Amino acid sequence: MKSHRQILEMSGGVPTVTSFKPERIKLDFPIFTRTVHGKPLIYLDSAATTQKPQVVLDTIEKYYSYQNANVHRGLHTLAEEATAAYEATRTKVAEFIGGVKPEEVIFTRNATEAINIVAQSWGEANVRHGDRIVITQMEHHANLVPWLMLSRKTGAKLKYIKITGDGLLDLSDIDEIIDSRTKIVALTQMSNVLGTINPVEEIIEIAHKKGAMVLIDGAQSVPHLPVDIKALHADFLAFSAHKMLGPTGIGILYGKQEFLEKMEPVTYGGEMISDVRFESVRWNTLPWKFEAGTPHIAGAAAFGAALQYLQNLGMDNIRRHELELTAYALERLAALDFIKVFGPTDPEKRGGAIAFADNDIHPHDLATFLDTLGIAVRAGHHCAQPLTKLLGVSSTTRASIYIYNTTDDIDHLADGLNEARKYFRYV
């Protein structure tokens, strides 16, 4: 395992914490001007949702103030502008994830809806009794429940790739788990509990050799790592704008055109048709076939601004910053003998979602106490109940970082954990 100092020294030409300047980035986020319980806000809950920079907020306001119209349907200037803003973000997303075709990028409500579309549309058409669906033990419910339901509906067997004691995927029996009966492998690229970054490249290759499709849950990876879905050759990718500076209510399903073309829509109505008769209907072309009804236009416009903000920082730089800060946080937490951290100890194998438990204080009490200090963390099962049970606990406290977090924030967290021991009289 590399220490925080070694990682700082390794960083070569890539900007480090010192040149990345999260303190400067914080100034772009109005929320950091507020206090919580009279203390400056320390936001360590970005795995749940990230804060929004002024440019994203301005884009929403500008859209509703000066551009508001429905997309695709009007021939007037406002409708054209709204459509241009909406479609421009689609093109930006396509570039952001490795230069795929804009037709392969579908706007959804969130990552959850994106995964459900694949499970329902592709799944119900292609998965049969006796087939296998493979996921991992570290999936968020969004990438577990849709597959559980598909296995129930079809009689296919749901198999899990296990995790090791240190929170990595156990690939020792991967050739038995992903076999010729496997129709799809759906896995997260980064765990929202353990922080683990999974070797998706290797798993995609194994799955494809066995003739299986692969869906990557990128809800935690796309906001934090450079993700080139074209280079990975994954068949589907799902993620949410709100976890990467964008608004809530908008997400992305990427799918390879050859598969999306063959898939049936799961929601019917306006926009997704090319021709409707009283007795019949023909679907629209990609990507609109999957976008029934009025979409989140302001959300798309603002997501475009969020992507631009991230691109200006550079995804490599973001990863480098988070790697350093995660290493720092792991070191600070490891020094607290009453805290157990879950997930890989090597910061290079993980992202900055760090779940932990105090030996004595319940995670909910701990999170509530930290809130009195202005520190926002999350407590619970983080929508990964089976994983939490596997860890031998009913819940954990989770601190998660993003571009605006500093070593100071981590110091406050560590101090807060010490203070909690005093407050709850364990010292």
- Answer yes or no whether residue 198 interacts with ligand PLP by CB under 6 A: no
List the one residue out of 213, 254, 204 whose CA is nearest residue 127: 213
Closest to ligand PLP by CB, 240 or 395: 240
- Answer yes or no whether residue 45 interacts with ligand PLP by CB under 6 A: no
| Measured distance CA(87)–CA(334) in Å, rounded | 47
**Least distance to ligand PLP, CB of residue 216, Å:** 10
The set of residues, in sequence order, having a beta carbon less than 8 Å from that of 62 and lying 6+ positions away, is none
- Answer yes or no whether residue 11 interacts with ligand PLP by CB under 6 A: no
The Cα angle at residue 355 between residues 151 and 314, in degrees rounded to 5: 90
**Least distance to ligand PLP, CB of residue 142, Å:** 4
Structure tokens at 195: 């922080």
Q: Which amino acid is at 257?
A: Q
| Measured distance CA(375)–CA(275) in Å, rounded | 54
Alpha-carbon 53 to chain mean position: 18
Closest to ligand PLP by CB, 114 or 413: 114
Closest to ligand PLP by CB, 111 or 306: 111
- Answer yes or no whether residue 219 interacts with ligand PLP by CB under 6 A: yes
Q: Which of 67, 120, 151, 188 binds ligand PLP (CB under 6 A)?
A: 188
Region 111-170 residues binding ligand PLP, contact defined as CB under 6 A: 111-112, 140, 142-143
Closest to ligand PLP by CB, 217 or 235: 217
96 contacts 243 by C-beta, under 8 angstroms? no
Question: Is 383 noted as a catalytic residue in this protein?
Answer: yes
Number of residues that bind ligand PLP (CB under 6 A): 14
The DSSP H or E segment spanning 136 is strand 132-136
**Least distance to ligand PLP, CB of residue 235, Å:** 17
- Answer yes or no whether residue 240 interacts with ligand PLP by CB under 6 A: yes
Region 344-383 residues binding ligand PLP, contact defined as CB under 6 A: 383
List the one residue out of 347, 329, 338, 346 whose CA is nearest residue 398: 329
The set of residues, in sequence order, having a beta carbon less than 8 Å from that of 95 and lying 6+ positions away, is none
Residues recognised as catalytic: 383
| Residue ranges in contact with ligand PLP by CB under 6 A | 110-112, 140, 142-143, 188, 192, 217, 219-220, 240, 251, 383
